[in-house]
Structure 1
Amino acid sequence: MKADIVFMNGEVVTVDDDNSVVESVAVKGNHIIAVGSNQEIQEYISHETNVIDLHGKSVLPGFIDAHLHLTIYGTNLLGVSCIEPHIQSLEDIFIDLQKKAEEAPKGQWVRAWGFNESKLKENRFPTRQELDKVSTDHPIVIIRTCNHTSIANSRALEIAGITEDTVNPEGGIIGRDENGALTGTLIENAHMQLFEYASYTDEEIRKGMKLASDEFIQAGITSIHDAGAYGDGAESLRIMQQAIKEQEIRVRVYAIIGSLTNSHDFVERVVKAGLISGLGDDYFKIGPAKLFTDGSSVGPTIATREPYSHNSNDYGITYYSQDELNRILGEAHKKGFQITAHAQGDRAVEMVLDCIEKALEEHPRIDHRHRVEHAGISSADLQNRMQKLGVIPIPNPVFMYVNGDKYLEYYAERVNVMYPLRDYIDKGIIAAIGSDAPVTFVNPLLGIHAAVNRKSWKDQLVGENQRIDVLEAIRAYTYNGAYASFEEDKKGSIEVGKLADLVVLDSSILHAESEKLKDIKVELTMVDGDIVFQSKQLVSK
């Protein structure tokens, strides 16, 4: 058998059981047919084989991001970005919103995303009145970087039916000043419910999905576990499947059944419809059923067992009672679903583990691979329960880079058990890394950098006891992601017979200085044997 493409003279990080590093890999069609030394791969080369000389650059399995939001990431690209370098103040955001409003037909939503008050000179949220000065003809909403809080103008609040007499929804807060007047701030469930009205058209969603997929491919991501969007989750999945069918989305999708708005309703509808996790093909599969249990780690609104370090009266919020969590996810487990939940605080993580434990007691299942999304504060007792129950946590080490300084303020010494990858590995817990993009940056190399260094962007150590090495981080971003979706026999490592999902970096990742891991770039991405991205033409022999 002769190969279609051979990568030679490289640093092929296979992520096999032995963490083998070899020189070459051969691809035929959409599968890997040989892995080994340059000499061993020679027999797979014909005059028709495209042979690419890597000159010592790294080849890795395609990155698998185990938790991000495809639809939200994509539709964000259609709005105003608050993370652009020129955004230094609220006024800068208002100017960009004004430009967007002038381009939009009257009455059309104007949205901004990635807002982080701590990065602006005013260090505060904008007010409803300030957004009204931008426009009252358009509903305007600014989405905080955590995706758990937003600020709306009067027109947006009016459309959503929010008045000074509106009571806070369960698990949410409608911001008011000392006189009871609406500030425009919407927190947690109040924020989520706004997006029942601030939805995008099908055409906008599909356009955004393609833009997002293109960016993921350029980042070396070949598979994602999509963690849901606002609004009707069924509609997002329908549009997603259409876009995959037309190859507008090139990444493989493991679709978590959950929505940021009324997640319980979507889960219950899908369970009743008779679907189960694993249904689908190599490009699109139904994933776990998911609920939200608490809020944002940098809000902060996560549910903690001890009060926040900066506020002795605050323990965060929960979306559901233990009985509700047990009933909804327990039924999904009973019907054959993998189950999971967003849980950032240790109180929330404990609730999810209690739910999983009860579900397994009532309806035992071998190799269930139930998950906990984020599992932000996971102390030793919670880790031990994960290990005993066979639960897969989905940590986000890039949060330590982006939010680490705030975590030290909010949680103090608890940062030592936040996203605790070192502890997971030492206890034999398989943890798969997710970026949670667009909440943070999607770049897997930045995620690996954060897992290895455990430093904030201000160069402050944040839980350095949880550092892991580069090979461990690569495994968590590849094989472990495949394991978390029951697909480790098909992808996640560079081995004969597996799908040809590969990424070529611009240098050696194993010989890079740890502080410079985030500076490594992706040069080529291959999905299903097709080169779908090249930053430059690699040298072919």
Structure 2
Amino acid sequence: MLAGADLIYTGGDLVTIDDHNPWASALAVRDGHITAVGDHDEVLAAHRGPATRVVDLDGATLLPGFLDPHSHYINSLSVANQVNVFAPPAGPGSDVGTIVNALRSFRDAHRVPPGEMIIAYGYDDTLMPGGRTLHKEDLDVDFPANPVLVGHVSMHGAVLNSAAMRIFGITAETPTPPGGVIVRKEGSTEPDGLVMETAFLPIFAAMPQPTASQEIAWSKAGQMLYAAAGITTAHEGATKAADVELIYRAAEGGASLIDVVAYPFILDLEEVLEHHPPATFGRYHNRVKLGGVKVTLDGSPQGRTAYFTTPYLVDGPDGQANWCGELGFSQDTVNGWFKQVYDLGLPLDIHANGDAAIDVALAAHEFAAADDLHRDRSTVMVHSQFVRRDQLQRYVDYRIIPSFFTPHTFYFGDAHVRLRGKAQADFLSPMRAAIDLGLQPTNHTDFVVTPLDQMFVVWTAVNRISRSGATIGADQRVTPLEALKAITINAARQYREADKKGSLEVGKLADLVVLDQNPLKVEPAAIKDITVVETVKEGETVYRA
């Protein structure tokens, strides 16, 4: 007789994401793994023992735990100590005044002393009424003695006040590096506040870090943000060498509620390899693993720093006419990065938004993979927002995985229509075209660019509705099941973990999420209103609403 299960789930819908067994009425768990998926009576008869706990879902829906294909986990550690200035409905930042009010309220509530830095996230200049954007003087009035850094929603830059500019050494004499943006006052070289792309990298690298005593507590709090969204595997999308060590230290100290997959940034790779040779990549230790390497090629389309083959319909972020964005690095440099990663045998994640950046990435792949262009190297084109149809076909040919970003259709779809035109905006994150070509795309939040909300990710892929209510590419809508696969089994394949995660199958980890409604049964418009009831990691509850 089989040993009794630790848990048996029944009494609700089980969405297995297993094409061979799509529906079940019971699931058994023992020692952190799924031991049975099937008929209620059969599972209970074979797996119920004297110590088995039978969990009645009471009409709720059980799915495999969600895998986050791309976000910035390291930012979750500090979000609780930062100011949310997302535009509504995700935050209060509807204009300059509300952003400054939010900063002021945070300072007063937390009794921030003079000299201490205040950091905000989520500033979206494309939504400022009348085009009235945030300038350093707006921040100087209330914060003459506090360095203030208001992160751009793209995560590729920030608006700095004068005190912050002094700390980071940005003056009228500071040259703008290739691929960077330092917005200047009209008619002068005086910085206006906004710093982006390669000009922002030194600032990002010098941001305050948690103390040793804070690392574990902040890491647990960050993981709970993911668990509350039903995520059992989180992604850290461009990891500095120091942050790699922080993540491992915190996990060693007990911050290992869920799995975390980190991708060291290419410019830090040599330093990371000194402590973590290639053979250690892909192996979990205390629920942390290095998944591969991250290369960033361009910026964001909403920030007008994504790199295109055709000009934006408006001037660039610093008033540039006929602006297409630009590449921060030469093609030869990118070729060398790809070859280095491929020669090490490591997966590669490539940030590329504009079609010109994707052209650069494909050319680099052709250079670095010349011995076999079609071998599966777990190469992921992250975002692929404005990929062309001919480029999608090359993804198929080269076995490149697109990780799309359909929340853009809601948060930035109206801006993309204005900046790039309706036709190009309608092909934003083209999941339907990719799936029809045989690709298995994933879909992500890019947190903190957009909030951690997997049901909203699914809703955007199924509905493609903008803030204004406009439809952004109706022909690129996917079914709810296809949208769920993008954050379950397809994401598991992206991580080379489909044998352990991504579907409810015998032998896989009991990484589970309970939802209050079934995404396959509600009206498509109602998917975003589904809530997470419980998140289970290897049979243990890590979050309960």
Give the TM-score of the pair, scaled to structure 2: 0.92
One of 183, 187, 197 as aligned partner of 1:188? 197
Pick aligned residue for 1:313 from 286, 308, 322? 322
Whole-angstrom distance in 2 between the partners of 1:391 and 1:272: 28
Q: 1:77 to 1:119 in 2, by over 3 A?
A: farther
SS at match of 1:10: strand
- Does residue 89 in structure 1 map to residue 95 in structure 2? yes
Match of 1:477 among 487, 500, 503: 487
Q: 1:142 is matched with which residue: 133, 150, 173?
A: 150
Deviations 1:328-372 (A, max 9, x none): 221111011111211000111111122122221147784312111
SS at match of 2:159: strand
Task: Give 1:382 deviation, angstroms.
Answer: 0.4
Q: How much does 1:144 deviate? A: 1.4
Residue 175 (structure 1) aligned to one of 176, 183, 187: 183
Question: Retained in 2: the 8 A contact 1:202–1:239?
Answer: no
Query: What CA deviation, in whole Å up to 9, does each residue of 1:409-468 have, x standing for no partner?
Result: 122211233211111111111211221011002100000000011111322100111111
The aligned counterpart of 2:113 is 105
Alignment partner, residue 532 of structure 1: 542
Q: How does 1:111-260 map to 2 (within 5 A)?
A: 111-121=119-129, 123-180=131-188, 181-203=190-212, 206-228=216-238, 233-258=240-265
2: CA distance, partners of 1:284 / 1:212: 14
Deviation at 1:196, TM superposition (A): 3.0
Q: Is the 8 A contact 1:78 1:208 kept in 2?
A: no
Deviation at 1:396, TM superposition (A): 1.0
Kept in 2, the 8 Å contact 1:292–1:319? The answer is no
Distance in 2, Cα, partners of 1:310 & 1:137: 36
Question: Secondary structure, in 3 states, of the residue corresponding to 2:397?
Answer: helix
Note the C-alpha offset of 1:525.
0.7
Which one of 269, 272, 285 corresponds to residue 289 of structure 2?
285
* Residue 469 of structure 2 is aligned to residue 466 of structure 1: no
Q: Secondary structure at the match of 1:23?
A: strand
Distance apart, 1:100 and its partner CA: 4.0
- The 8 Å contact of residues 126 and 415 in structure 2, kept in 1 or not, is answered as no
In the aligned structure 2, how far is the partner of 1:211 from the partner of 1:463? 37
Between stretches 349-358 and 433-442, larger displacement belongs to 349-358
Moved more, 238-247 or 437-446: 238-247
Return the alpha-carbon distance in structure 1 between the equivalents of residues 426 and 184 of structure 2.
35
Identity of aligned pairs, percent? Answer: 29
**Is the Cα contact below 8 Å between 1:15 and 1:493 reproduced in 2?**
yes
Q: Is the 2:241–2:271 Cα contact (8 Å) retained in structure 1?
A: no
**Whole-Å separation in 2 of the counterparts to 1:228 and 1:120:** 29
SS in 2 for 1:77: helix
- How far apart, in 1, do the equivalents of 2:323 and 2:254 lie? 47
**Structure 1 segments unaligned to the other structure (5+ residues):** 259-263, 536-541
* Structure 2 equivalent of residue 46 of structure 1: 49
Deviation at 1:282, TM superposition (A): 7.6
The answer to whether the Cα contact below 8 Å between 2:256 and 2:286 also exists between their aligned partners in 1 is: no
Matching residue within 438, 442, 456 for 1:432 = 442
Aligned twin of 2:58:
55
Structure 1 residue 210: deviation in Å?
2.3
- Aligned mates of 2:93, 2:294 — CA distance in 1: 35
Number of positions where the alignment pairs a residue of Structure 1 with one of Structure 2: 527
CA gap 1:290/1:85 in 2 versus in 1, 3 angstroms: closer
Greater CA deviation, 202-211 or 483-492? 202-211
Q: Which residue of 2 aligns with 1:261?
A: none
The residue that corresponds to 2:36 in the other structure is 34
Distance in structure 2 (CA, Å) of the matches to 1:227 and 1:171: 20
1:304 aligns with 2:312: no
Question: Which residues in structure 2 correspond to 1:347-426 (within 5 Å)?
Answer: 347-362=356-371, 366-412=375-421, 413-426=423-436
Distance 1:380 1:122, change over 3 A: closer
**Distance in 2 (alpha carbons) for counterparts of 1:448 and 1:100:** 32
- Distance (whole Å) between structure 2 residues aligned to residue 91 and residue 245 of structure 1: 43
Deviations 1:292-349 (A, max 9, x none): 1000121121001111234570111212211101102211110111112110001111
Q: Alignment partner for residue 12 of structure 1, among 11, 14, 17?
A: 14
What SS is found at the alignment partner of 2:199? Answer: helix
With over 3 angstroms needed to count, the CA separation of the structure-2 counterparts of 1:427 and 1:324, relative to structure 1, is same
Range 50-59 or range 434-443, more displaced:
50-59
**SS of equivalent to 2:78:** helix
Does the residue aligned with 1:66 lie in a helix, a strand or coil? coil
> How far apart, CA to CA, are the structure 2 residues paired with 1:440 and 1:86?
14
C-alpha separation between the residues in 2 aligned to 1:245 and 1:272? Answer: 19
Q: How far off its partner does 1:126 sit? A: 2.0
CA contact (8 A) 1:97 1:134 kept: no
Q: Which amino acid aligns with 1:251?
A: I
What is the root-mean-square deviation of aligned Cα atoms in Å? 2.0
Aligned mates of 1:7, 1:26 — CA distance in 2: 6
Alignment equivalent of 1:343, drawn from 349, 352, 366: 352
Q: Distance between the aligned counterparts of 2:202 and 2:19, measured in 1?
A: 46
SS in 1 for 2:255: coil
Could you tell me which amino acid in structure 2 is paired with residue 298 of structure 1?
Answer: Q
**TM-score between both structures, scaled by the size of structure 1:** 0.93
Task: Give the drift of 1:56.
Answer: 3.3
Match of 2:460 in 1: 450
Greater alpha carbon shift after TM alignment, 376-385 vs 173-182: 173-182
Instruction: Return the alpha-carbon distance in structure 2 between the equivalents of residues 185 and 87 of structure 1.
Output: 17
**Pair 187,360 (structure 1): closer, same or farther in 2 beyond 3 Å:** same
1:153-179 residue CA offsets vs partner (Å, 9 max, x unmatched): 111111111110110012111111123
Map of 1:539 onto structure 2: none
Corresponding position: 1:69 with 2:68: no
The SS at the match of 2:278 is coil
2:474 maps to a residue whose letter is E
Q: Secondary structure at the match of 1:93?
A: helix
Check if 1:499 corresponds to 2:509. yes
State the AA in 1 paired with 2:49. Answer: S
Write the mapping of 1:262-273 to structure 2, written as runs, cut at 5 A. Answer: 264-271=266-273
- Read off the aligned partner of 1:48 and give its amino acid letter: A
